[in-house]
Amino acid sequence: MDINSFYSFFKGFRFESPWYLLLIIPLVFLIILSIVRKKPALTIPWMKPFLRNKKKKGFNRTYIPLVIYSLASLLLILALSRPQKGIEELIQRSKGIDIILALDLSGSMKAIDISKNMSSQQVRNGLQTGKLKERISYAKDAIKRFIKKRPNDRIGLIVFAPKAYVACPPTLDHSLLLSELSSVNAGIVGDSTNIAAPIATAVSRLKDASSKRRVLVLFTDGSNNVNDRINPMQAAKLAKMYHIIIYTVGIGTPNAFVLQNSIYGAQFIPIYGQFDKKLLVNIAKETGGKYYKAADAKGLKSVLNKINKLEKTTMEQPKFIDYSEIAPILLGIALALFIFGFVLENTIFIRLP
């Protein structure tokens, strides 16, 4: 065994009650006393007959029970000191940044974007085969892939429409994050769009983060149409103050519709209006980020691949150490040695009184 293997084997060991190790000192004293003051097993008046067959001086086998008892006592003392082996490291180092994803859940995210030259039959076929999806569906699919590519990042989710809500705070538990993302849908928190609210909410979550790089990625398909206490640009200036970079993503095209059921069956209702490109550009520019346009699922996938190349920084996250007790094993061995020593002393190495 080399020095590295030796170190790895004993790494993580500790004694919960180390003061019991001081008992080794009187144990050593008792062993020495037993050897020095050991009495002969048989007293005889004349040694001459025995000296004729005297063998060369060697190890006295009568010491074997003493050695066994001494080893058992040592193991008993070690067991009392409660040796433990740590299973996990105290600090887990990983490279990552803090990211919050802000997803627009206004009613227009139910819209389906199509090409200008698509016929009604092509649209119906696309809906049946799954090639055409609502904006919210392909946005969630792309965001899921993005999250899975960044296992070392603390990522959170904010959803918004008239108001913003924290669906999941920044976390390394991405299974929880993905579960929350799957449960949200367009229209559940209102139909209008408030761009300032998710920015201000993200700032309150990220401003005290320990990582050096903090990022907000904002996805929206509409323009700001809610008058809040602060406007979107004021919220962007607040993000800049706390060194939070904002990437804005405009989703959808002007050629879109929603599928609505009526007494005449399913009907295609056109959707008018689009995201405010100028506002999204200015928000990103104010914070040192970038603006991206994602017309469809392919475009959004390309955008998130670009954002995925963000700079990484180092952070630490504490973890609990699970210690396993070694004392029961030592107690078992000590008990076995005491029994073994007793059997030897009273059979093979029995002495005359």
CATH (domain of 145): 3.40.50.410
Decide: pTM greater than 0.85.
no
Tokens matching residue 266: 């399913």
- Whether residue 29 is contained in a domain is answered as yes
Do 189 and 109 share a structural domain?
Answer: yes
pLDDT in tens, 19-64: 888 888 888 888 787 777 655 555 555 555 555 555 555 556 667 8
pLDDT of residue 273: 72
- Whether residue 351 is contained in a domain is answered as no
Do 27 and 134 share a structural domain?
Answer: no
- Whether residue 335 is contained in a domain is answered as yes
What does the pLDDT average to over 204-208?
Answer: 93
- Whether residue 33 is contained in a domain is answered as yes
Terminal Cα-to-Cα distance of the chain (whole angstroms)? 47
Do 72 and 137 share a structural domain?
Answer: no
Do 103 and 30 share a structural domain?
Answer: no
Do 296 and 164 share a structural domain?
Answer: yes
Report phi then psi at 324, rounded to 5. Answer: -105, 140
Strands in the chain per DSSP E: 13-15, 83-86, 91-96, 98-104, 112-113, 154-160, 164-171, 214-220, 244-251, 256-262, 265-271, 291-294, 313-318, 323-325
Those residues with Cβ within 8 angstroms of residue 238's Cβ, 6 or more apart along the chain or in another chain: 199, 200, 203, 230
Do 167 and 31 share a structural domain?
Answer: no
Do 292 and 148 share a structural domain?
Answer: yes
Do 213 and 338 share a structural domain?
Answer: no
- Whether residue 352 is contained in a domain is answered as no
Q: Which domain holds residue 249?
A: 92-317
| Residue 67 predicted with pLDDT over 90 | no
- Whether residue 210 is contained in a domain is answered as yes
pLDDT in tens, 263-272: 666 677 777 7
- Whether residue 247 is contained in a domain is answered as yes
Do 96 and 84 share a structural domain?
Answer: no
Distance separating alpha carbons of residues 24 and 80, to the nearest angstrom: 11
Do 312 and 294 share a structural domain?
Answer: yes
The closest alpha carbon to 331, from 81, 86, 87, belongs to 81
What does the pLDDT average to over 204-222?
Answer: 91
pLDDT in tens, 239-292: 999 999 999 999 988 888 877 766 666 677 777 778 999 999 999 999 999 999
Q: What percent of the chain has pLDDT over 70?
A: 79
pLDDT in tens, 183-194: 999 988 888 999
pLDDT of residue 139: 93
Do 301 and 221 share a structural domain?
Answer: yes
Domain count across the chain: 2
Q: Is 66 helix (H, G, I), strand (E, B) or coil?
A: helix
